[in-house]
Each structure stands twice: as structure tokens, then as C-alpha cells.
Amino acid sequence: MSKGEPKPGGLDEAPSPHYAGHRERARQKFLQVGADALQDYELLELILQIIIPRKDTKPLAKELLAKFGSFSGVFAAPPIRLSEIRGLGEISGTNLKIIQAAAQRFARDRVAPDMPILSSWSALIDYCRAQMAFNDIEQFRILFLDKKNRLIADEVQQAGTVDHTPVYPREVIKRTLELSASALILVHNHPSGDPSPSSADVQMTRQINDIARPLGITVHDHIIIGKNGHSSMKGLKLL
């Protein structure tokens, strides 16, 4: 055996990192049982493995969940707050936001523009939750529909503070007429997490409806999105 030749048994090879076996077991579990059977930290750990390939990501996954409260809360966290986590640099934080954007795009595409939006209510709620549930400020958006209730446009009309968004009913109707829309679904989020409508929410919705009705514009619903679920003013018989 020559002097520079590696010894039998691969003794000159660098040892595998201690977490290599665990990473492979985690991937195999995903393949065998699917994502629905994984706990939040396990799925987040797998995602972090893609972003940070040379690190044990299990502790980081658990720390992120503890910091931001939920799986979705991690991805919705502002970049500046993600940067506060030790071991999660600017690039890794940006990659998490890219994954969030991909998930939002997927949810949006499930609300197909060529079919009546009211026929896929669960997809609509999933889309609204993906877009708004974990925002830290209130956001008011409108889904503009045609005569067959197909989506013409989805626009954010206003963004406000942690507990208030200014909404101007006449501006809502003006935009509806500009788009030649026949119906609306109003949507906004409550950063507090509680999706219960406030008296101001109800009053504003009725004002929009009162202006829209004589013009032949239907307000189908006003959906409020929170971290803990959603509410429908139509379902609550407030509209």
C-alpha cells in the first residue's frame, strides 16, 4: 500500500455529521406517511433542511415555532423579526418569504378565474387565509366578480393599523363601476386573531351595500379573517 493511499475501511474519510442520519429518516418519514402525518416542527425542519443544507435544523424549527406561535406564523413573520433568530441569516429568512409567496400563489390559483368563485368557497377561504390571516396590520381587499360570479380582479383597497382600516364606501363602488363588476366579496383581517365583526365593520358593510344595491351591484359577503378562523357576515345574518 502506497503512503498516500487511504486506509481500508475509509478511515481517512471525513465522518458524517451527527445529524445526517436523522435528516434522512425525516425525509423517509415524509415519503412514507405524507405531510399531513407530520407535526409542524417536523415539516418546518424539512423545509429548513432545503434552505440550510449543512446544519441540524430540528432545534431551529422548534425555536421558530415557539417564537412565532404557529407554522403559518413563521412564514408570515416580517423579515426583520426573522433576522433576530440566531442561525437564520438574511438569505435564509428571504428564502422563507419566497416559500410563503409560492404558497400564496398556489392558493390564489385554486380560485380559478374561469369558474364561479362561489362554487369553491373552501378554496376562497384558504386563499384569503394564506394572504391575510397573519398580517400584523389590517388590510381591506375586494374580490370583484362578473355576472357569472367569476373573478375579475382581487385588489387591496386599504391598509391601516393593527386594529383599524379606513374604508370609503363610495370609493369601493367607484372602483366596481370602473371594472364593470356586477358583484363583490369584501374581505379584511383582524390581526388580533378574533374574526368576530365589530359594529364598525357591520356599519361599513351596510353602507357599501346600500349604495351598491340601487346600481344593480350585489355584495355577496364580507369575510373577516383571523388567526383563529374566519367569520361571514352573510352567515351571521348581518348582511
State the Rg of the chain over Cα: 24
To the question of pTM greater than 0.75 for the whole model, the response is: no
Mean pLDDT per 10-residue run, the chain (239 residues)?
49 50 76 85 90 86 90 85 86 89 79 68 84 84 91 81 68 94 94 88 93 95 90 91
> For residue 80, with 0-12 CB atoms within 10 Å meaning exposed, 13-18 middle and 19 or more buried, which class applies?
exposed
Q: Please, what is the Cα angle at 216 between 181 and 114, to 5 degrees?
A: 35
Distance, in Å, from the CA atom of 187 to the CA atom of 156, rounded to the nearest integer, reads 9
Residues 217 and 119 grouped into a single domain? yes
Owning domain of residue 78? 20-105
**Domain co-membership, 44 together with 125:** no
Number of domains in the chain: 2
Residue 6 domain-assigned? no
Is 4 a domain residue? no
In this structure, the answer to whether residues 83 and 155 fall within a common structural domain is no
Return the pLDDT at 11: 47
Q: What is the pLDDT of residue 14?
A: 46
Side-chain half-sphere exposure of 116, counting CA atoms within 13 A: 8
- In the block, cell 400563489 appears at 105
Residues 223, 127 share a domain: yes
The residue from 105, 133, 159 where one domain ends is 105
pLDDT for the residue numbered 63 = 92
Is the same domain home to 122 and 31? no
DSSP alpha helix (H) spans, the chain: 20-33, 40-51, 58-68, 71-76, 79-82, 90-110, 121-132, 169-178, 199-212
**pLDDT at residue number 16:** 52
Q: What's residue 215's pLDDT?
A: 95
| Residues contacting 115, CB < 8 A, separation 6+ | 150
Domain final residue, candidates 63, 82, 105: 105
Q: What integer pLDDT is reported at residue 206 of this predicted model?
A: 94
**222 within domain boundaries:** yes
